[in-house]
Structure 1
Amino acid sequence: MEKYKENREFLKANFQILDEIKTDAQKKVPKPSIQKHYEDNSQIIELPKVNKDMLLKSNIFDCINDRRSIRKYSNESISLDELSFLLWSTQGIQKVMGDNHTAFRTVPSGGASHTFETYLIIKNVENLNEGIYRYLPLEHSLVFMYEVKNIDKKVNQATPKQPFVPNFASKSAVVFAWSTIPYRAEWKFDITAHKKILIDVGHVCQNLYIASEAIKCGTCAIGIYDQKLIDNMLDLDGENEFVIYLAAVGKIDTSI
């Protein structure tokens, strides 16, 4: 049992440590931005406005009761309206305060730190080319990053050793890849930030499950992935920003 001890301690509440630490927030160090910068000449895709008319299942009891991890998808594309809804459900901003330094979102986050950026590995979304995109929650838009050749192969390499259905992620319409920028939480919580980050990403992915169920799409969270490969694929430095969770989304294969 000794080999588990360190990780088990990490799971426990340890916020009394902060009594002996002066955080960057307390030092009046400027708060990190809630959204990564993008170049002025970037290709921006405005997302459709989200509304509840698109819901195919609006009863929250049914959505929670029927939710399952779906690993088999049809070849049907998902619409830009559906993608817009899923992005809003998982990282959408409802209100911004303090000169874009604090945001209220559709998911909770410890200290409203919201450390995540949402990247999309898009394969089968209407009116979008295959490739890598990043969600811009402040504008509710996408920024196109670059095309990906042999996208199926690269997704399979990034998500190896799936225990139930090998290579299922490459059959989906889109893979959500959430990175974390830890300093957004470390600024306020210092060395106690990291447990909060892991808790928060669970909130995000659960919203994706429920939102997908509401529009009759299937999703499956992915915790087994090649860290270095996926970070490189998304052009992340692996230190100040790195992938923390993935999820595949697609139309459900009803023929099975």
Structure 2
Amino acid sequence: MTRYEKQRNFLKSNFNEFKNIKTDKMKGIPQPDSIKSYDSQSKIVVLPRVSEETVTNSNIYKCIGNRRSTRLYAEKSMNLDELSYLLWSTQGITETNKAGLTLRTVPCSGATHSFETYLFIMNVDGIQKGIYRYLPVEHKLLFMFELDEIDNKIDEITLDQPFVPNFAKKAAVLFAWSTTPYRSEWKFDITAHKKILIDVGHVCQNLYLASESIKAGACAIGIYDQKMIDTLLGLDGDEEFIIYLAAVGKKKE
């Protein structure tokens, strides 16, 4: 049992320990950027304005009750309105407060928002296959690069899935969320890491429910090749790294 002790302690609230720590915020160290920068000359995809008209099932009771991890997808594309809605549902900015903190569609400890959303787009109408990053302030997509044999690469990244092998490559989109831990560490020091894991759970559950509301299905993926996907996306694996994946596709009738 002792080999579990360290990880079990990580799951507990360590607020009393935190009270005795002087965080970087308390030390007057400048807050890190909450949004990752990008080259203004990059190729940008303007996303449609999010509208409730995209939703086909607005009954939240039914969406919660019908939510399942979906690993079998229809051979049918998603449209750009649907992708726009899913991105807004998971990281969309709804308000910026007087302190300059972004308030989003998901809760986040101290509004630190340590996540970036990367997309492996395989089957979305009007969108070139490839790798993209979501720009939440502008509600746009940054095209990063094409990826040869993107489906095979997803197979390599997602390793051996225990229930339905190779399902992720058959989705319309693979979401890949990274974390930049220092955005949270600056404010919460050693207590940040538990908060980050809690917060990414909020993000993924919103994806599940939003997918359900547009007759799509999502499946979270926690088994993946860390080094491979970090290297592919140009992340250093320390200051920023992938923390969670989720495949999304239209449901079979």
User: Does the alignment pair 1:139 with 2:127?
Assistant: no
Could you tell me which residue of structure 2 aligns to residue 213 of structure 1? 212
Could you tell me which residue of structure 2 aligns to residue 9 of structure 1? 9
User: Does the alignment pair 1:84 with 2:55?
Assistant: no
Could you tell me which residue of structure 2 aligns to residue 94 of structure 1? 94
Could you tell me which residue of structure 2 aligns to residue 222 of structure 1? 221
Could you tell me which residue of structure 2 aligns to residue 235 of structure 1? 234
Could you tell me which residue of structure 1 aligns to residue 59 of structure 2? 59
In the TM superposition, what is the alpha-carbon distance from 1:34 to its structure 2 partner?
Answer: 1.7
In the TM superposition, what is the alpha-carbon distance from 1:57 to its structure 2 partner?
Answer: 0.3
In the TM superposition, what is the alpha-carbon distance from 1:6 to its structure 2 partner?
Answer: 0.6
In the TM superposition, what is the alpha-carbon distance from 1:44 to its structure 2 partner?
Answer: 0.8
RMSD: 1.0
CA displacement 1:142-176 (0-9 Å, x = unmatched):
00000000101100000011000001000000000
Equivalent residue of 1:135, what SS?
strand
In the TM superposition, what is the alpha-carbon distance from 1:3 to its structure 2 partner?
Answer: 1.1
User: Does the alignment pair 1:46 with 2:46?
Assistant: yes
CA displacement 1:117-149 (0-9 Å, x = unmatched):
000000001111111000000000000000000
Equivalent residue of 1:121, what SS?
strand
What runs of 5+ residues in structure 2 fail to find an aligned partner?
Answer: none
Percent identity of equivalent pairs: 60
Equivalent residue of 2:124, what SS?
coil
TM-score, normalisation: structure 2: 0.98
Equivalent residue of 1:64, what SS?
helix
Residues in 1 aligned to 2:25 and 2:51: alpha-carbon distance in whole angstroms: 37
Residues in 1 aligned to 2:96 and 2:30: alpha-carbon distance in whole angstroms: 17
CA displacement 1:34-82 (0-9 Å, x = unmatched):
2100001111111100011111100100000011110011221100000
Equivalent residue runs for 1:91-170 within 5 Å:
91-97=91-97, 101-170=100-169
TM-score, normalisation: structure 1: 0.97
User: Does the alignment pair 1:68 with 2:68?
Assistant: yes
Could you tell me which residue of structure 1 aligns to residue 189 of structure 2? 190
In the TM superposition, what is the alpha-carbon distance from 1:181 to its structure 2 partner?
Answer: 0.4
Could you tell me which residue of structure 2 aligns to residue 29 of structure 1? 29
Equivalent residue of 1:132, what SS?
strand
Residues in 1 aligned to 2:65 and 2:18: alpha-carbon distance in whole angstroms: 40
Count of aligned positions: 253
In the TM superposition, what is the alpha-carbon distance from 1:98 to its structure 2 partner?
Answer: 5.1
Could you tell me which residue of structure 2 aligns to residue 252 of structure 1? 251
